[in-house]
Structure 1
Amino acid sequence: MVRFIAMLVGIAFAGVLAIALFGSISGVITEPPPPTAEHEFHKHPRDLELASDGPLGKFDMRQVQRGMQVYKEVCSACHSLRLVSFRDIKDMGYSDGQVKAFAASYDNIPSINPDTGEAATRKGVPSDRFPSPFANEVAARAANNNALPPDLSLMAKARHEGPAYIYSLLTGYQNQPAKLLKEFPDAKTPAGLHYNPYFANLNIAMAPPLTADGQVTYTDGTKSTVDQMAKDVAAFLSWTAEPKLQARHTVGFAAMLFLLVFCFLAYGAYQNVWRNVKH
């Protein structure tokens, strides 16, 4: 009797869920939600081809180095790289001396004065991580119109089509289209925000960081257009998100080659063992 009652309760519960699901689906079909500005004008990231793309991709270290220069001179004013150490850039082709010099170029590493015990700052050493430009989240929001600049260490992996998204976002600032304001009068970009169709809600608190060609003077002589700088910093953030990508690709290729040879050997062994057995 108890089992029968429990079965009836289960059937009734499943029936209620089915009715609710049917009602929701029919409601969406008969009365679809009204279009929104975000749905109509949000753009898919532009195509970006990097040397690291594909299963056998390798980083273009010259481009990654240029991207780090863009990060240091432009992006580091607001964004941190808290998961990247100075010594990690040795994998980008720098010598130990260059790594030490680069680390020492940062003289704002938080420290403690051993004589007074008070907070102080010092020059960086290779074991330090890239410092945050702000003391804490409160200071970061106070300096950015209450918006919190995200850490960029894993940004290329945290966003769908990360490198292309970063590149598109940096080059996508523009005035609001007249068509948008005509169809959605209430979608005017609020004061303090900036229209960017590659951002999820179209309006982003970050002002355009790359504003003019030549903003960064590349040490290798490459012409630093806005488009080039955006591509380079996207490549650099791809590296910070997955610095061991090349090693992973190498190991993966070797593993696939081994499995292919193993399959042929296993098939040959099978044929040899069962060669005298009649089917």
Structure 2
Amino acid sequence: MVGGGVIQQILRRKLHSQSVATPVLSWFSLKKAHEDAGSSGVRALALLGAGVTGLLSFSTVASADEAEHGLESPNYPWPHDGILSSYDHASIRRGHQVYQQVCASCHSMSLVSYRDLVGVAYTEEEAKAMAAEIEVVDGPNDEGEMFTRPGKLSDRFPQPYANESAARFANGGAYPPDLSLITKARHNGPNYVFALLTGYRDPPAGISVSFSLIFHMKLLQIQTAGY
């Protein structure tokens, strides 16, 4: 009996200790879960804050960009904008003709070679014939001298001026930009260039513009009238 009483006391103490420890452990578990939830909430708020900050930064950049570039150009329905769309090859051919007849007298396309036109606007024979019409300074030869030769497909379009100083002198101090990557170098790319080329109008009454600008306006209007 004495042994049974001792065993009962031990069991009571064990059950009591477990009943006390369980709420304590539950409290720590709840506290940890609450802290985890809080830290997750903080992380979520941080992400939301970062997103809002990014949106605000984007809007600030967009506003600054608009202030720098002026009014937004119209967005035109380009046929090559689709995922499965491609460029209009006839349009590329006409564009190259306009460049040769109008733009090439002032603007370079120093990054474009004649071979870039093959299969895009001309056949290989046509591109070779166009390249052969120009003379390219090459060398040195075996005697250490430079020489001229007919152009090849690997040659780039000829430069309208010998250097930048000559270009500025011929254009009243202005340097005509290279047109190789002009749609990437200008805000809103193709829309900007198209709006610029087609947006020339006669100046309002009482407003005078330079002779050079009038000449370019009339020349563009004449040369592009058939396209």
The TM-score bracket by the shorter chain reads: 0.5 to 0.7
| 1:141 and 2:182 aligned | no
* Cα distance in 1, alignment partners of residues 198 and 88 from structure 2: 21
Corresponding residue to 2:216 among 207, 213, 229: 207
Select the structure of larger CA radius of gyration: 2
Corresponding residue to 1:81 among 84, 106, 109: 109
Letter of the 2:163 counterpart: N
Partner of 1:99: 127
How many residue pairs get matched?
159
CA contact 2:108–2:158 (8 Å) conserved in 1:
yes
Shift in alpha-carbon separation, 1:83–1:125, aligned structure 2, 3 A: same
- TM-superposed deviation, 1:129: 0.8
| SS at structure 2 position matched to 1:62 | helix
- TM-superposed deviation, 1:174: 2.5
- TM-superposed deviation, 1:125: 0.5
Q: After superposition, what is the alpha-carbon deviation per residue over 1:158-204, rounded to whole angstroms, capped at 9, x for unaligned?
A: 112221211111122224445xx7xxxxxx66645648xxxxxxxxx
CA contact 2:113–2:156 (8 Å) conserved in 1:
yes
| SS at structure 2 position matched to 1:91 | coil
TM-score under structure 2 length normalisation: 0.59
| 1:130 and 2:157 aligned | yes
Identify which of structures 1 and 2 has the higher relative contact order when contacts are C-alpha pairs closer than 8 Å and 6+ apart.
1
What RMSD over aligned residues (CA atoms) do the two structures have, in Å?
Answer: 3.0
| SS at structure 2 position matched to 1:59 | coil
- TM-superposed deviation, 1:59: 0.6
Letter of the 2:117 counterpart: I
* Cα distance in 1, alignment partners of residues 198 and 146 from structure 2: 39
Q: After superposition, what is the alpha-carbon deviation per residue over 1:99-152, rounded to whole angstroms, capped at 9, x for unaligned?
A: 211211223x33357498666543211010111111100111111111101000
Corresponding residue to 1:157 among 160, 170, 184: 184
Letter of the 1:150 counterpart: P
| SS at structure 2 position matched to 1:125 | coil
Shift in alpha-carbon separation, 1:191–1:150, aligned structure 2, 3 A: same
CA contact 1:145–1:192 (8 Å) conserved in 2:
no
Identity %: 42
CA contact 2:93–2:122 (8 Å) conserved in 1:
no
Letter of the 2:159 counterpart: S
Shift in alpha-carbon separation, 1:78–1:117, aligned structure 2, 3 A: farther
| SS at structure 1 position matched to 2:138 | strand
Shift in alpha-carbon separation, 1:110–1:79, aligned structure 2, 3 A: farther
| SS at structure 2 position matched to 1:110 | strand
- TM-superposed deviation, 1:74: 1.1
